[in-house]
Structure 1
Amino acid sequence: MAEAHQAVAFQFTVTPDGIDLRLSHEALKQIYLSGLHSWKKKFIRFKNGIITGVYPASPSSWLIVVVGVMSTMYAKIDPSLGIIAKINRTLDTTGSMSSQTKHVVSGVLFGTGLWVALIFTMRYSLKVLLSYHGWMFAEHGKMSRATKVWMGMVKLFSGRKPMLYSFQTSLPRLPVPAVRDTVSRYLDSVKPLMKEADFKRMTALAEDFAGSLGPKLQWYLKLKSWWATNYVSDWWEEYIYLRGRGPLMVNSNYYAMDFLYVLPTHIQAARAGNTIHAILLYRRQLDREELKPILLMGSTVPLCSAQWERMFNTSRIPGEETDTIQHVRDSRHIVVFHKGRYFKVWLYHDGRLLRPRELEQQIQRILDDPSEPQAGEAKLAALTAGDRVPWARCRQAYFASGKNKQSLDAVEKAAFFVTLDETEQGYRKEDPDASLDNYAKSLLHGRCFDRWFDKSFTFIVFKNGKIGMNAEHSWADAPIVGHLWEYVLATDSFQLGYLEDGHCKGDTNPSIPPPTRLQWDIPEECQEVIETSLSSASLLANDVDFHSFPFDAFGKGLIKKSRTSPDAFVQLALQLAHYKDMGKFCLTYEASMTRLFREGRTETVRSCTVESCDFVLAMADPSQTMEQRLRLFKIASEKHQHMYRLAMTGAGIDRHLFCLYVVSKYLAVESPFLKEVLSEPWRLSTSQTPLQQAELFDLEKNTEYVSSGGGFGPVADDGYGVSYILVGENLINFHISSKFSCPDTDSHRFGKHLRQAMTDIIALFGFSSNSRK
């Protein structure tokens, strides 16, 4: 085999004349190039570490400060107020320097100290400035003079040309809200959901907690917030994600779709070649920290970039009690799944990344490979789709040594996982509902054994050229994956492109060794566990009722004309749709982010409020006038925006209560209040997918290149999961999930109610659903 031959650097045979040693020059060349690549990455990381370490100053500013100090010294001016003279006297005790040398060294040492002091001053000043969030609560479209001055100060202390992690040390820590404030906001959020007697009982529990146990637990949280970078994130990752023993598939992982209407090529291998190359270009920018940090408020306020660190070369490792996240610094290969077989594909040749046409060639070799799966290989990934404990035990028993360990290492240490799907997916105009529903279900769970659900993400290429992604949730949240996905879609279509015949641009390269099959030796006992995991995973997958659809009657353009937040508009439409669907209100989860703070992740916006319920009831009451309904809508919209801002600025409800509960468990004390709060089900779980975080193309000029967004499974067995993305000015894509096993839910029925709710609300402003046209 050619690839095995090239992997051997030295060949030797025993002859009567002794050992005959032959050197393989090609293999030695590859070893040299591999080492050169490794040292280049080390140098880039070292250089970036220095640049980030001194930010918001720059390394060159050290020279400016030192030269400035030396210039004043030669002008017989002492800028140090006697400190340079003290340094000079200290150096004088060594007796090994001339007077002139001591003079120069003293000046350099003082200049360096002054430079370091300036760095810390600028960094602390920036942190103090970024701790101010009053700008978020200002009326939309109006900016006070104080905010303008604040913005100017932030820009002054922010330095020039920041790299991805430049702002990390300047971001403030997530504050711990006061217990009474959190309890008060919690009671306000559940008031419309409880009967009067139940609410009085809960109020009594809450008051007792706020006056007795709460302050004791709060003391520990305060202590953690002073010591740890973020008082929530590590516990959130550990207890919400890694300690979950149920399947990741459907329950935790989420997906991202391709463009809705555009398909650049129908050739599966070509689409894979371009998009895999685009992903690798993104990884290279990430490794070099060349990605720009995301900035809000007119490119002024930075968001935390910590979640990018584990995007690639990462896998979740199962354990009996808790999982762990394994991340390696670099990976030079990917693993590709096709027709039940696993292939290892090297990403470099001659010390460079494989080009799109070369990757297409490698993928085509896999598609053309006629070999059959080994025993137990075809459905192996079902282990990652089922419960975590059987997978953990199976991994320890059958994958701890030999070829199984080597092959599993190849999968878990790959840059990412790729599935060449045998089905055709995507939006079809002749059958839009069924086509998008099937596309969503395929990305969410597939056949339960053709995605490696433990990898940071599985990249999926369908037979007709459509693509998608399934992402594991513990290492990062959806906006991070969304940033990568925008880059991949834009780079594929607008930078790399295709030839007229649909193939990737460039030439093939026959000298590149073909992909290698991973080898497995899976005993029958392990195959039985695989079948058991597949059976339970299939039951879960078949129970998912999914409805994905584009809402194109109007979009955020018309909503903005009504002077309403698009997110608040959609959230109130969801409340109205849910009431139409179920005839009652429920606890509603909307995900927001806390990345204004260092290592921030998410917070919950409790979208079902007293104000939203008043509005929904008014819409259901035929005696209410349009003016009264509109007034209540505006009140509810303003309340929602206020809640969202509180969540973003660290004054949310649920993460604080969650951490107080964790402390109570560590202290082995029971809190009836916390226990009841954390057991309440989220029967409506919602999330908005951010769009155009990376400004890579103009959506207004390329209106057909609209994103389909992504979605997730239902959080509660008797509830709905709803994801939505506001695309351009005239389109909103919705993804609705529920379970067939629940007789009360129906995703398509909810979708109809949601369409009607959107239309009913826009009519309050005197607009019809076709006003944009």
Structure 2
Amino acid sequence: MAEAHQAVAFQFTVTPEGIDLQLSHQALTEIYLSVLRSWKKRLIRLKNSVITGVYPASPSSWLFVVIAILATMYTRSDPSMGLIAKIQEHLPVRYHSLSAQCQTVLSAVLFSTMLWLSLIFTMRMCLKQLLSYHRWMFEPRGKMTNTTKVWLTLVRIFSGRQPLLYSYQGSLPNLPVPAVKDTIKRYLESVQPLKNPEEFERMTSLAANFESCLGNRLQWYLKLKALWASNYVSDWWEEYIYLRGRGPIMVNSNYYGMDFLYVTPTPLQAARAGNTLHAAFMYRRKLNKEEVKPWLLMSSAPCCSYQFERMFDSCRIPGTITDSVQHWQDSDYVAVYHRGRYFRLRMYSAGRLLSPREVESQVQKILDDPSSPSPGEEKLGALTAGDRIPWAKARKEYFSSGLNKRSLDCIEKAAFFVTLDDDEQGMMGEDPAASLDRYAKSLLHGKCYDRWFDKSFSVVIYKNGKNGLNAEHSWADAPVMHPILSTLGYNEEGHCKGEVDSSLARPQRLSWDIPPECQEKIAQSLSIAQALADDVDFHVFSFRDFGKGMIKKFRISPDAFIQLVLQLAYYRDRGAFCLTYEASMTRLFREGRTETVRSCSNESCAFIRALEGGELYSLLLRQASEKHQSLYRHAMTGAGIDRHLFCLYVVSKYLGVESPFLNEVLSEPWRLSTSQTPVQQVELFDLVNHPEYVSCGGGFGPVADDGYGVSYSIVGENMINFHISCKHSCPQTDSHKYGGLIRQALLDLQLLFCPDQKDPSKADLRQTKKDM
């Protein structure tokens, strides 16, 4: 109980002789350093707020303007054209006691400040207008028009120097509301290859009726919202797509990210945890100081950074009608789960961040702790894996006061969640391919109770030193998640580097008092989550025959190439095309998140039909690729289809009106849901000289019960990773079969450009079609 006594700053007892007061100097020192650290962070935030608030100018530019105005006045000229004198006339009475010269100087300073603020506002408005220009995205690669060159020059002039993470937020344009007729036109074009003539004619009639009657009325409300909202989509998207979902978020919403594919930096679980947790807190420190550079396209066009704000210290809170995302400030600890027990692991001591070696020693204490879980504690996390309403009711009934509330608060307010998993994962054993599939399923759902799926993200450290993460989706999208990669190094024995302070208090074991009624609810949630997890069919594989390097030699977009591969594989699997979802970002706009690229187009279908018919037309491939690029660019620049239709649907529900067109559009299943995982590790590691330091990326569960979820990452020049998910309960889907079809489709498309390919492992295209 030593650590418990150290946490008390003072104790007193009343005795016959008086009051016996005992002070704990160590606890008082901890309190003092904690307060000091908190005020330092407040000052840093204040400083950054000032710098960001006046961007693209700098605070020091105010002094320059003041000096320039005063210097001009002393040359007996009036740069204000009489405004300084007007200000002096209207100074409050108390300032008239000053000398005339002091009043003039004060008026000049006030005028300089107003002039400075006006210049900042003008620069910011100019930058906002410049960032609304997106024609550069539609220009051929390597060919830049004079207009774009002038635009780039002006953006760099108005952007200032050394921007902080949030410097551009006030200058980003708002997401535009597309015209209803344009959205409907693009929608009808997207579904034409998926419907027979009768179905398409019917949908065209519904669309025309919607456009002429209800569409313009709903559009008026959207335009009204766009006038005052930073983004007319994002708040509704977060609420209705994520937070109002009443089913499990495990598998259905959360996603995962993997560790290095071929390298395990250390086989010691505690050591890997030490470096990983320390690196995560170092990254959080950079985020708090806004030292992370904002993302820039073409080194000039900034992307919105608001999603970074809730990466750490956040948790999804269940509700009976809708959930909410709560964010706290600077938690100094992480919540740790190991063998059914929960711990609070403090990451700071005496105002400093623990070294990796000290974190390792603390984690090792948790691993060596022989205590057993209290009743109901081991599988408590299953509440976050099951349906949301039972979890919300259980939280209110059993965790709203007393011991359980304190322990639950500790988990929800932690910087993030950590699972010390007793399993071993990664590419290993006699069947490395199957081990990757198990690794993916483990990260996606684990045992259904050993992750806290409500936390913004959970770090999983396996027994053999592998790690990974599981992230909740409502607060941000996958590209925002910084890869949890340990780059701090280990000694020869595999331990973290550094020394250990032996006086560190042990990690605190959380206590629970879970009644039998609550344990029954935990068991019910676990049964629902377990059935969902068991139904997931996963296949992960790396394709290394060729990659981005060869595809670029074909002068085709690698992303468009892979999208065609996925559609070709699906067509061979099911004998038909399907509505295909590809995620695109809209972060060129303020608070932008994602938009859908409907990548199954007339052009892609025409190419696939020609290919399967024996016509090897590379021209059709290029047309399909160019169409995909056009669709992707339109989605990124605010001219997408699905977010606009979604918001029109929300407005119709608020108004209580029914639209057969919108009802049908939003009920169409996405049987092929795809997303490209950004590979940030390319910036952290030299993959040319160290190709083993490569991650397999991450993935997500299937969106449709009878469809596939496909995540892919293009790594370096010669590697493409695929994560394929579907459901065992659907007899028409098989992740391994679809993976084989993807591999064959890649090889077949390669033959279009390399018909003399001699590699015996690549089957002849005509023979492939004959066999099928």
Q: Same fold (TM over 0.5)?
A: yes
Aligned-partner SS, 1:603: strand
2:630 aligns to what?
642
Which amino acid is 2:655 matched to? L
- C-alpha separation in 2, matches of 1:702 and 1:305: 31
Verify the 8 A CA contact 1:611 1:632 in the aligned structure 2.
yes
Does residue 563 (structure 1) correspond to residue 555 (structure 2)? The answer is: yes
Question: Which secondary structure state, in structure 2, belongs to the residue aligned with residue 139 of structure 1?
Answer: coil
Change (3 A) 1:129 1:772: farther
- 1:413, 1:475 → 2: CA distance? 15
Query: Equivalent residue for 2:515?
Result: 523
Cα deviation, residue 694, structure 1:
7.7
Residue 279 of structure 1 pairs with residue 297 of structure 2 = no
For residues 133-532 of structure 1, what are the structure 2 equivalents within 5 Å?
Answer: 133-297=134-298, 299-428=299-428, 430-481=430-481, 484-485=482-483, 488-489=484-485, 492-493=486-487, 496-532=488-524
3-state secondary structure, aligned to 2:657: coil
Q: 2: CA distance between counterparts of 1:743 and 1:92?
A: 82
Query: Is the Cα–Cα contact under 8 Å of residues 685 and 693 in structure 2 kept in the other structure?
Result: no
Measured after TM superposition, the shift of residue 332 of structure 1 is: 1.2
Among 736, 749, 753, the alignment partner of 2:741 is: 753
Matched-pair contact (CA < 8 Å) for 1:256–1:468: yes
Q: 1:612 aligns with which of 595, 604, 609?
A: 604
Output one character per residue of 1:191-236: Cα deviation in whole Å (capped at 9) or x when no partner. Answer: 0101110110000000010111000000000000011000000000
Deviations 1:304-338 (A, max 9, x none): 00000000110000011100111112211111000
- Paired residues of 1:315 and 1:325 also in contact (CA < 8 A): yes
TM-score w.r.t. the length of structure 1 is 0.97
Correspondence for 1:708 = 696
One-letter amino acid of the structure 1 residue matched with residue 406 of structure 2: Q
SS in 2 for 1:394: helix
Task: Give the residue type in structure 1 aligned to 2:637.
Answer: T
1:521-566 residue CA offsets vs partner (Å, 9 max, x unmatched): 0000000010011011000000000000011111101000110100
Identify the residue that residue 724 of structure 1 maps to in structure 2.
712
Q: What does 1:582-601 align with in structure 2 at a 5 Å threshold?
A: 582-601=574-593
Letter in 2 for 1:224: K
Aligned counterparts of 1:226 and 1:391: Cα–Cα separation in 2: 38
Superposed displacement of residue 110, structure 1: 0.9
Q: Where does residue 676 of structure 2 map in the other structure? A: 688
State whether residues 247 and 386 of structure 1, in contact with CA within 8 Å, keep that contact through their aligned partners in structure 2: yes
Letter in 2 for 1:527: Q
Cα distance in 2 for residues equivalent to 1:553 and 1:422 = 35
SS of the counterpart of 1:112? helix
Quick one: distance in 1 between partners of 2:761 and 2:123?
Answer: 48
Secondary structure (helix, strand or coil) at the match of 1:91 reads coil
Q: In structure 2, what is the equivalent of residue 551 of structure 1? A: 543
Counterpart CA distance in 1 for 2:635 and 2:444 is: 28
1:455-514 residue CA offsets vs partner (Å, 9 max, x unmatched):
000100000000000000000000001xx11xx42xx23xx1000110000122210000
Q: Is the 8 A contact 1:762 1:769 kept in 2?
A: no
TM-score w.r.t. the length of structure 2 is 0.97
**Amino acid across the alignment from 2:562:** V
Summarize the Cα distance change of 1:680–1:72 in structure 2 as closer, same or farther, 3 Å threshold. Answer: same
Alpha-carbon distance change, 772 to 69 in structure 1, aligned in 2, over 3 angstroms: farther
Q: Is the partner of 1:119 in helix, strand or coil?
A: helix
CA RMSD after TM alignment:
1.4
Distance 2:680 2:335 in 1: 29
| 2:564 maps to amino acid | L
Partner of 2:768: none
Contact 1:554–1:770 (CA<8 Å) still a contact in 2? no
Classify 1:370/1:459 alpha carbon distance in 2 versus 1 (closer, same or farther; 3 Å).
same
| SS of residue in 2 equivalent to 1:335 | strand
Q: Quick one: distance in 1 between partners of 2:532 and 2:685?
A: 39
Give the total of aligned pairs: 760
In the alignment, which residue of structure 2 is the partner of 1:32?
Answer: 32
Encode CA deviations 1:292-311: one digit per residue, 9 max, x unaligned.
Answer: 100011x1110000000000
Distance 1:701 1:250 in 2: 36
Alpha carbons of 1:208 and 1:771: their partners in 2 closer, same or farther (altered >3 Å)? farther
**What stretches of structure 2 of length at least 5 have no aligned partner?**
763-772
Aligned equivalents of 2:118 and 2:166: distance in 1? Answer: 21
Kept in 2: contact 1:581–1:750 (CA 8 A):
yes
Identify the residue that residue 574 of structure 1 maps to in structure 2. 566
SS of residue paired to 1:114: helix
CA distance in structure 2 between the aligned counterparts of 1:51 and 1:279, rounded to whole angstroms: 26
**Residue pair 1:432, 1:549 contacting (<8 A) in 2 also:** no
Partners of 1:701 and 1:381 in 2: CA distance: 42
1:43-192 matched pairs, under 5 angstroms: 43-91=43-91, 94-192=95-193
Match status 1:739 vs 2:710:
no
8 Å CA contact retained: 1:558, 1:772: no
Deviation at 1:92, TM superposition (A): 8.2
**Contact 2:247–2:387 (Cα < 8 Å) also in 1:** yes
Q: Secondary structure at the match of 1:212?
A: helix
Q: Distance in 1 between matches of 2:594 and 2:464?
A: 36
Q: Distance in 2 between matches of 1:207 and 1:432?
A: 54
Q: Does 1:539 align with 2:527?
A: no
Deviations 1:590-618 (CA, angstroms, capped at 9, x unpaired): 00000000000000000111111111111
CA distance, structure 2, for counterparts of residue 218 and residue 557 of structure 1 = 45
Would the aligned equivalents of 1:759 and 1:769 in 2 still touch at CA under 8 Å?
Answer: no
Residues in 2 aligned to 1:693 and 1:223: alpha-carbon distance in whole angstroms: 42
Q: Is the CA contact 1:720–1:738 (under 8 Å) kept in the aligned structure 2?
A: yes
Cα distance in 2, alignment partners of residues 12 and 181 from structure 1: 75
| Cα separation, 2, equivalents of 1:560 and 1:432 | 30
CA distance in 2, matches of 1:197, 1:655: 27
The 3-state SS of whatever aligns with 1:188 is helix
Mapped partners of 1:363, 1:555: distance in 2? 40
Q: Do 2:255 and 2:444's aligned partners in 1 also have CA atoms closer than 8 Å? A: yes
State the 1:429 CA deviation: 7.0
2: CA distance, partners of 1:22 / 1:758 = 74
Superposition deviation, residue 706 in structure 1:
1.2
Distance of aligned partners of 1:770 and 1:74 in 2 relative to their CA distance in 1, 3 Å threshold: farther
